[in-house]
C-alpha cells in the first residue's frame, strides 16, 4: 500500500484539465462547466484522492482548526463541555484539537504554543488553576480569537463565558432555608479559585438575606472531586453542632457527600439535604436523584463554540463577557418529594 500521494496535478492529468480547474472544482466554484466538473470528480474518486488541507492552509493562511484546552477531562463536566464544543465545531466544518492540562499551567503553556504552531484559528480555554493574565498575553497579542469558559480571568482582554455562580448558589441556599434548614454547610472546592469565591459569596449572601449568621466552620474546602466530598462531609460531621444540609461546590463533591453520609448510615435526602452544582448527566439518574444548580455543560460548550466561531468569522470582534443563566433543578437529594420541579432563576 502506502503508494505515492495523489495530488491535484495527478487528478488534473487524469481528467485532462489543468490543476487550476481541479482546484476550482474542489472549492465548488460555479465557474466550472458541469461536464468538466463531472470528469474531475470521477478522477478524484478513481484515484482515491485525499485533499491536503495543510497545503491549502499554507496558501490561504487560515485553517479550519479550533483548539480546546481543558483543565481536567476526567471530570465529566469538562468532558461534556468538550462534547458540546465538538458538536458545533464539527458541523461548521472545523475539527478540534483537544488537550488536557490536568491543572498544570506549565503544560497549558506548552499546549497553547503547540496549537498556535499548528495554526488554529481560535481557542476555547478552560484555564488551569492559577492561570495569570501574563500566561495568556502572547496569545491575545497575536490577535487570534479566544474564548475563556467556566473560569474567567480578569483583564485578559478576551471573551468569556461563565455561569452565574453567585445567583445559582443563592437560589440553592434560599431553597434550603425555605425547607426549614438552619445549619447549612458549604462543602468542597479549592478556596483560591474564582468559581469557589463566587459560589461561596452566593451562599453567604443568601444566609445574610435570611438574617442567618455565616458560620466559618461550616465552609469546608476540599478537592473538587468525589473523594474530596467524602472528606469534606466527614469533617463537617465531626463538629459539635452538625449541619443538616449542604450546598456542594459541584456535583462530584455532592456525590462524595452522599457516599460519606451513607457510610455513617445517614440517607441523603431523608436525613440530610444535599445540593450539587453543574447538573452532570448522572445527577438525574443517581439515587437519590441529585438536586443541583444546572449549568448545562454541553450547552455551555455549544455556546462557547458559537461565540468563538462568530469571532472567527467576524475577523475582529469586541471581547464579550457572557454570564450564562443557571437554574435550580429540585430532585430528591434535598428532601424534596416533588420530582422535576424546576425553579427558574436567571440574570
Partner DNA sequence: CGAATAATTTAGATCGATCCAAAATGCAAG
Partner DNA sequence: CTTGCATTTTGGATCGATCTAAATTATTCG
Q: How many residues bind DNA (CB under 7 A)?
A: 29
Task: Please identify which residue in 38, 42, 58, 321 interacts with DNA, judged by CB under 7 A.
Answer: 58
Closest CA to 253 of 287, 289, 277, 284: 277
Decide if residue 316 touches DNA (CB under 7 A).
no
As a whole number of angstroms, the distance between CA 313 and CA 213 comes to 51
Q: Which is nearer to a second copy, 198 or 257 (CB)?
A: 257
As a whole number of angstroms, the distance between CA 345 and CA 105 comes to 34
Q: Which is nearer to a second copy, 116 or 129 (CB)?
A: 116
Q: Are 307 and 122 in contact (CB under 8 A)?
A: no
Shortest CB 185 distance to DNA, Å:
55
Decide if residue 56 touches DNA (CB under 7 A).
yes
Decide if residue 120 touches DNA (CB under 7 A).
no
As a whole number of angstroms, the distance between CA 145 and CA 159 comes to 8
Task: Please identify which residue in 38, 42, 45, 52 interacts with DNA, judged by CB under 7 A.
Answer: 52
Q: Are 164 and 325 in contact (CB under 8 A)?
A: yes
291 binds, among a second copy, DNA, none (CB under 5 to 8 A by kind): none
Binding site for a second copy (CB under 8 A): 1-3, 5, 48, 50-55, 57-58, 61, 63, 65, 73-74, 76, 79-80, 82-83, 86-87, 90, 95-100, 102, 107, 110-111, 114-119, 138, 140-143, 225-227, 230, 255-256, 258-260, 262-263, 281-282, 284-287, 316
Decide if residue 285 touches DNA (CB under 7 A).
no
Shortest CB 295 distance to a second copy, Å:
15
Q: What are phi and psi of 166, to 5 degrees?
A: -65, -50
32 binds, among a second copy, DNA, none (CB under 5 to 8 A by kind): DNA
Decide if residue 20 touches DNA (CB under 7 A).
yes
100 binds, among DNA, a second copy, none (CB under 5 to 8 A by kind): a second copy
Q: Are 251 and 279 in contact (CB under 8 A)?
A: yes
Decide if residue 142 touches DNA (CB under 7 A).
no
Task: Please identify which residue in 55, 263, 287, 321 interacts with DNA, judged by CB under 7 A.
Answer: 55
Query: Which range binds DNA by CB under 7 A, 47-55, 188-196, 280-288, 317-325?
Result: 47-55
Cell digits of residue 152: 474567567
Decide if residue 114 touches DNA (CB under 7 A).
no
Q: Which is nearer to DNA, 64 or 179 (CB)?
A: 64
Shortest CB 8 distance to DNA, Å:
4
Decide if residue 244 touches DNA (CB under 7 A).
no
Q: Which is nearer to a second copy, 165 or 225 (CB)?
A: 225
83 binds, among a second copy, DNA, none (CB under 5 to 8 A by kind): a second copy
Q: Are 239 and 267 in contact (CB under 8 A)?
A: no
Q: Which is nearer to a second copy, 209 or 314 (CB)?
A: 314
- Residues near DNA (CB under 7 A) are 5, 7-9, 17-21, 23-24, 26-27, 31-36, 49-52, 55-56, 58-61
Amino acid at each position: 500500500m502506502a503508494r505515492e500521494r495523489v495530488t491535484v496535478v495527478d487528478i488534473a492529468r487524469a481528467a485532462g484539465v489543468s490543476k487550476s480547474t481541479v482546484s476550482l472544482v474542489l472549492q465548488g466554484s460555479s465557474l466550472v462547466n458541469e461536464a468538466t466538473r463531472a470528469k474531475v470528480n470521477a478522477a478524484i474518486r478513481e484515484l482515491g484522492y485525499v485533499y491536503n488541507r495543510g497545503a491549502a492552509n499554507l496558501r490561504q493562511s487560515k485553517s479550519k482548526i479550533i483548539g480546546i484546552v481543558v483543565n481536567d477531562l476526567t471530570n465529566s463536566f469538562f468532558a461534556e463541555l468538550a462534547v458540546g464544543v465538538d458538536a458545533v465545531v464539527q458541523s461548521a466544518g472545523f475539527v478540534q484539537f483537544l488537550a488536557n492540562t490536568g491543572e498544570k499551567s506549565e503544560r497549558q503553556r506548552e499546549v497553547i504554543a503547540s496549537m498556535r504552531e499548528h495554526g488554529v484559528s481560535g481557542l476555547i480555554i478552560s484555564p488551569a488553576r492559577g492561570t495569570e493574565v501574563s500566561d495568556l498575553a502572547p496569545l491575545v497579542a497575536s490577535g487570534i480569537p479566544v474564548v475563556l469558559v467556566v473560569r474567567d480571568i480578569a483583564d485578559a482582554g478576551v471573551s468569556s463565558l461563565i455561569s452565574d455562580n453567585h445567583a445559582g448558589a443563592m437560589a440553592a441556599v434560599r431553597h434550603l432555608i425555605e425547607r426549614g434548614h438552619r445549619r447549612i454547610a458549604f462543602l468542597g472546592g479549592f478556596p483560591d479559585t474564582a468559581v469557589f469565591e463566587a459560589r461561596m459569596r452566593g451562599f453567604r449572601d443568601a444566609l445574610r438575606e435570611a438574617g442567618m449568621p455565616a458560620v466559618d466552620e461550616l465552609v469546608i474546602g476540599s478537592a473538587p472531586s468525589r473523594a474530596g466530598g467524602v472528606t469534606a462531609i466527614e469533617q463537617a460531621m465531626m463538629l459539635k453542632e452538625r449541619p443538616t444540609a449542604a450546598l456542594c461546590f459541584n456535583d462530584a463533591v455532592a456525590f462524595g457527600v452522599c457516599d460519606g453520609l451513607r457510610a455513617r448510615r445517614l440517607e441523603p435526602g431523608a436525613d440530610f439535604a444535599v445540593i450539587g452544582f453543574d447538573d452532570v448527566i448522572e445527577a438525574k439518574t443517581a439515587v437519590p436523584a441529585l438536586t443541583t444548580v444546572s449549568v448545562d455543560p454541553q450547552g455551555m460548550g455549544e455556546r462557547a463554540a458559537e461565540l468563538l466561531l462568530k469571532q472567527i468569522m467576524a475577523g475582529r470582534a469586541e471581547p464579550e463577557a457572557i454570564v450564562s443563566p443557571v437554574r435550580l433543578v429540585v430532585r430528591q437529594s434535598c428532601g424534596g418529594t416533588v420530582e422535576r420541579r424546576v425553579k427558574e432563576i436567571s440574570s
